[in-house]
A = this chain, B = another copy of it.
Amino acid sequence: MADHVYKKVELVGSSPNSVEAAIENAIAMAGKSIKNMDWFEVVGTRGHIQDGKIAHYQVELKVGFRVEG
């Protein structure tokens, strides 16, 4: 891992089903334009309520990826 540099981007993924699915959706979208993704960090969990029920989980996360020189 000699002297690698990483960049972190901040995303919000959403899913009607679970916290994990919201994270997966964000990472799947990020993977369309980012290569070498290495880790994620959850920085917040929220959600929308409609008609008294959870409509979507919304997970804020940072995704770290290696920058190629």
A residues near B (Cβ < 8 Å) are 1-16, 18-20, 23-32, 37-42, 44-49, 52-57, 60, 62-64, 67, 69
State the majority secondary structure of interface residues on A. Answer: strand
Given contacts A8-B10, A40-B49, 13 further A-B contacts (CB under 8 A): A4-B14, A5-B12, A5-B26, A6-B14, A8-B60, A9-B10, A18-B18, A19-B19, A32-B69, A39-B46, A40-B54, A41-B45, A42-B44
Q: Which residues of B contact A60 (CB under 8 A)?
A: 8
Report the nearest B residue to A20, measured CB to CB. Answer: B18
Residues of chain B within 8 A (CB-CB) of A10 are 7-10, 62
